[in-house]
Structure 1
Amino acid sequence: MSERSALETLIELAQTRADDAAKRLGALNAQNLDMEAKLVLLLQYCDEYRARFQASMQRGLTASDWRNYHEFLNKLDAAIVQQREILILMRQRVAAGQTAWQTARQTLSSYDTLDQRRVRAETLRAARYEQKQSDEHVTNSATRRDGSHSSHSSS
C-alpha cells in the first residue's frame, strides 16, 4: 500500500507541476502577444509619422521642424529596435516555457504509465489468486468426492 501512496503522491506532484507549467506558458504566450501588438503599433505609428513628415516636407519645413521630425523618427526607430529585442527575448521565454510544460507532461505521463502497469500487475495477481483458489476448491471437492466414493464402495 505504501508503494501505491508514494506513486499517487508523485502523480499528484507531477500533475501540479504540469498545471503550473501550463499556467506559466499561458501567461508567457499572453505577454508575447502583447509585445507583438506593441511592435505592430510602433511600426504603424512610425509609418504614419514618416508619411506626415513627407507631406510636411513637400509643403516646406523650417529647419527646427525638420530637426524635430528627424529626432522623433530616430526615437521611434530606437523604440522599434528595443521592442524587437524584447520580442526576441520574450519568444525565448515562451520556448523555454513550452519545454518546461512538455517536460512536466512527460513526467506525468511516465508516472501514469507506471501506475497503469501497477494496476495491471495487481489485476493479474488477483486473477491468478482467484484461479488458484478456484483450482484448489475443485481439487478439494474432487478429493472429497473421490474419498466419499471410496468409503462407500468399500462398505
Structure 2
Amino acid sequence: MAMNSALDTLIELATSQTDEAAKRLGLAIRACEDTEQKLAMLLQYRDEYEARFQTSLAGGVTAAGYRNFQLFLEKLDMAIDGQQKIVDDAKRRIVDERSEWQSCERKRMSYDTLATRMQKAAEHKANKLDQKLMDEFATRQSNYKR
C-alpha cells in the first residue's frame, strides 16, 4: 500500500511538472509569435519606406535627402537584424521548452505504465487468492458431503 502511495505521489508530481512545462511551452510559442509579428512589421515598414523613396526619386531628391534615406535604411536594417536574432532566440526557446515538456511527459507516462502494471499484478494476485479460496471451499463442501 505504501508503494502505491509513493507511486501516486510521483505521478502527481510528474503531472504537475508536465503541466508547468506545457505552460512554459505555450508562453514561448506566444512570445515567438509576437517577435515574428514585430519583425514582419519592420519588414513591411522598410518596404513601404523604400517604395515612398523610389516615388520621391522620380520628383528629384537632394544629396542630403538621399543620404538621410540611406542612413535611415541602415538603421532600419540594423533593427531588422536585431529583431531577427530575437526571433531566432525565441524559436530556440520553443525547441528547448518542447524538449523539456516531452521529457516530463515521458516520465509521467512511465509512472502511469508502472502504476498500471502494479495494478494488474495486484489484480492477478487477488484473482489467484479468490481462486484458491474457492477451491478450498469446494474441497470442504465435497468432504463435508461424504
TM-score by length of structure 1 reads 0.92
Aligned ranges for residues 133-144 of structure 1 at < 5 Å? 133-144=133-144
Structure 1: distance between partners of 2:45 and 2:124? 69
1:117 maps to amino acid: R
Structure 1: distance between partners of 2:10 and 2:68? 63
Structure 2: distance between partners of 1:38 and 1:144? 89
Please name the residue that 2:112 is paired with.
112
Tell me whether 1:103 sits opposite 2:107 in the alignment. no
Secondary structure of the equivalent of 1:103? helix
Please name the residue that 2:26 is paired with.
26
CA offsets 1:38-95 (integer angstroms, 9 cap, x no match): 1111100000000111111221112222222111111110011111111111111000
TM-score by length of structure 2 reads 0.97
Extract unaligned runs of 5+ from structure 2.
Answer: none
Please name the residue that 2:90 is paired with.
90
1:51 maps to amino acid: A
List, as ranges, runs of 4+ consecutive aligned residues in structure 1 with deviation greater than 3 Å: none
Tell me whether 1:6 sits opposite 2:6 in the alignment. yes
CA offsets 1:4-47 (integer angstroms, 9 cap, x no match): 01000000000000000000000000001001111111100000
Structure 2: distance between partners of 1:102 and 1:88? 21
Please name the residue that 1:149 is paired with.
none
Structure 2: distance between partners of 1:42 and 1:128? 72
Report the number of matched residues: 146
Please name the residue that 1:74 is paired with.
74
Extract unaligned runs of 5+ from structure 1.
Answer: 147-155
Percent identity over the alignment is 43
